[in-house]
Amino acid sequence: MILMHKINTETNENKYYSLHIQPDLFGHWSLMRYFGRIGKNGQLKVDSFESEEEARELYDKLEASKKSRGYFEV
């Protein structure tokens, strides 16, 4: 699991983005993404995969993308 923030006072950006991989009850793997403004209820997106490796591949890709856009790990 990773929790990242993007804070920029000049542009009023106060965002969070969290990634979490976990197995489901049916033998698949879920990549759960939580995101929104810090201090507010955010959104949840869940992607299902056949294997943990597939979920990890998207996890790594999203983590790198967010860090390149100014998010930092908390």
Average confidence (pLDDT) over 2-10: 96
pLDDT tens track for 25-56:
999 999 999 999 999 999 999 999 999 999 99
SS (H, E, C) the chain: CEEEEEEECCCCEEEEEEEEEEECCCCCEEEEEEEEECCCCCEEEEEEECCHHHHHHHHHHHHHHHHHCCCEEC
pLDDT of residue 8: 94
